[in-house]
Amino acid sequence: MNRVVITGAGCVSALGPDLATTWAGMRDGRSGIGQLEGLPLERLRITIGAQVRGFDPATHFAEKKLAQYDRFTQFALVAAREAVKQSGIALSGELARGCAVIVGTGIGGQTTQDEGFQRLYGEKADRLAPMTVPRAMPSAATSHVSMEFGLRGPSFGVTSACASSNHAIAIAFDMVRLGRAPAALAGGAEAPMTLGGLKSWEALRVMSPDGCRPFCRDRRGMVLGEGAGMFLLEPLESALGRGARPLAELVGAGMSADAGDLVAPSVDGCAAAITAALADAGLAPEQIGYINAHGTATPANDPAETKAVRKAFGRHAERLAISSTKAVHGHALGAAGAIELVAVLGVLTEDVLPPTAGFTEADPECDLDYVPNQARKVAVEAALSNSFAFGGLNCVLALKRIDS
Reported as a single tens digit per residue, the pLDDT across 4-54 is 999 999 999 999 999 999 999 999 999 999 999 999 999 999 999 999 999
For the chain, what's the residue count? 404
* Beta carbons of 65 and 78 less than 8 angstroms apart: no
Active site residue 162: yes
Q: 89 or 404: whose pLDDT is higher?
A: 89
**pLDDT(252) > 70:** yes
CA distance 310 to 259: 21
pTM: 0.98
Q: Are 386 and 259 in contact (CB under 8 A)?
A: no
CA angle 204, 335, 118 (to 5 degrees): 55
Average pLDDT value for residue range 98-116:
97
Q: In 3D, which of 253, 287, 291 has the Cα closest to residue 273?
A: 253
pLDDT in tens, 291-329: 999 999 999 999 999 999 999 999 999 999 999 999 999
Mark whether 294 is an active-site residue. Answer: yes
107-128 mean pLDDT: 95
Q: Which of 11, 162, 216, 270 is catalytic?
A: 162
For residue 343, what pLDDT is reported? 98
* Per-residue pLDDT tens over the stretch 369-380: 999 999 999 999
| pLDDT at residue 76 is higher than 80 | yes
pLDDT > 70: what percent of the chain?
Answer: 100
Count of alpha carbons within 13 angstroms of residue 120, beta-carbon side = 10
* Strands, E assignment, 213-270: 227-235, 248-257
Calpha distance 108→317 (Å, rounded): 36
Distance CA 231, CA 84 (A): 8
Query: Given 294, 329, 366, 395, which residue is catalytic?
Result: 294
Active site residue 167: no
Gap between the Cα atoms of 338 and 229, Å rounded: 5
Average pLDDT of the chain? Answer: 97
The pLDDT score that the predictor gives to residue 27 is 98
Using 50, 70 and 90 to split pLDDT, how confident is the model at 403? Answer: confident
| Structure confidence by residue, pLDDT tens digits, 135-187 | 999 999 999 999 999 999 999 999 999 999 999 999 999 999 999 999 999 99
Whether residue 404 is predicted with pLDDT greater than 70 in this model: the reply is: no
Catalytic residue among 11, 331, 366, 395: 331
Average pLDDT over residues 193-219: 97
Cα separation of 160 and 104, whole Å?
8
DSSP assignment of 271-291 equals HHHHHHHHHHHT--GGGEEEE
Q: Could you give the count of Cα atoms lying within 13 Å of 375 in the half-sphere of its Cβ?
A: 19
Question: Strand 382-389 vs strand 352-353: parallel, antiparallel, or unpaired?
Answer: unpaired
**Region of residue 340 (left: phi > 0; alpha: psi -120 to 50; beta: else):** alpha
Domains and CATH numbers, the chain: 4-241 (3.40.47.10), 252-400 (3.40.47.10)
